Amino acid sequence: MSYLARLSPVRAVQDLRFFLAQRQAYELWFLLLAIVVTTGLVAAFVHDSREERPYRRNIIYVQQWALSRTDAEIHAQQKIDGVIQTKAIADEEKRRKDLQGQYKRLDDKLKAMGI
């Protein structure tokens, strides 16, 4: 805590003035040039790191059903939707298995290479 008590902005400015007074003019110009170049490079990296996110519309379509439909109509529609949903799940499972097989083949090749 006693170390922080000795810190003073006035003394820091005096030390900076003392440091700059002992330097030649060309040393100060090179110091300024180094500061400008470093700041420019950091600013370029910061500017380049920003990435605009592409706008994607998130549209959700829903079916509207009449309030007067019967239970038989509801069950018939559920049977139709059940077949479609089962097919979609099977397709997704097939895609997952294919991707898993590709990764397995890649892993086997890497193991054969000793990696």
CB atoms within 10 A of CB 77: 13
What pTM was estimated for this model as a whole? 0.41
**pLDDT interval class at 8 (50, 70, 90):** confident
Mean pLDDT for the chain?
91
Residue in this structure with the two tokens 């193991």, named with its chain if needed = 111
d(CA 103, CA 111): 12
- Residue 101 reports pLDDT greater than 80: yes
**pLDDT interval class at 7 (50, 70, 90):** confident
Cα 108 from chain centre:
31
Mean pLDDT for the stretch of residues 96-113 = 95
Q: 7 by DSSP, 3-state: which? A: coil
d(CA 7, CA 98): 66
Cβ atoms of 58 and 50 closer than 8 Å: no
Q: 55-84, pLDDT tens digit by residue?
A: 999 998 888 888 899 999 999 999 999 999
